[in-house]
Structure 1
Amino acid sequence: MLMSSGDDGAKLQYGPNGFRVLRAGNHVYCAMSGVPIPLDELRYWSVEYQEAYATPQLATQRLTEQS
């Protein structure tokens, strides 16, 4: 999926069972890698830090850094 340079992506509020779209967009950026994650592929995030992650490994790495 190609993204235009003017595409800022979505702004989400992450909850324990899902997320709420605060600003429309078709993707968010991984907090660890910076890669865009299409909303329909978003599976990993932190409610506490309000961040999205591209893979379970990146999510685990981020959360263990905070401990």
Structure 2
Amino acid sequence: MNPPPKPLPVHGREAVLRYNRADFDIVQGGDHVRCAVSGKPIPLDRLTYWSAELQEAYANAAMMTRRWVETHGAD
């Protein structure tokens, strides 16, 4: 049996995703998400960094690290 099809992207609209450890599921179609740190849009085809724990996306590795330090402390 094949998995159900993923929703097609809707251009110009922010997507709603469910972030998993290795990938993400599209809950509501769109073509981008917002970086949790900078607020800048991230095209879905360039989305590389996110937190399954916090259910957030990040524009780059530095923003992901910054958010991790904010939420987990710099031990």
Q: How high is the TM-score relative to the length of structure 1?
A: 0.88
Residue in structure 2 matching 1:26, options 6, 31, 36: 31
- Letter of the 1:16 counterpart: R
1:46 equivalent in structure 2:
51
Please list every run of 5 or more consecutive structure 1 residues that lacks an aligned counterpart in the other structure. none
Which among 31, 35, 38 is matched to residue 40 of structure 2? 35
Let me know the Cα RMSD of the aligned residues: 1.3
TM superposition outliers: structure 1 runs of 4+ over 4 Å = none
The percent of aligned pairs where both chains have the same amino acid is: 47
Computing the radius of gyration over CA atoms, which structure comes out larger, 1 or 2? 2
Looking at structure 1, the residues matched to 43 and 31 of structure 2 have their Cα atoms a distance apart, in angstroms, of 6
TM value normalised by structure 2: 0.79
Equivalenced residue count is 62
Give the counterpart letter for 2:19 in structure 1: Y
Contact persistence 2:13–2:31 (CA under 8 A): no
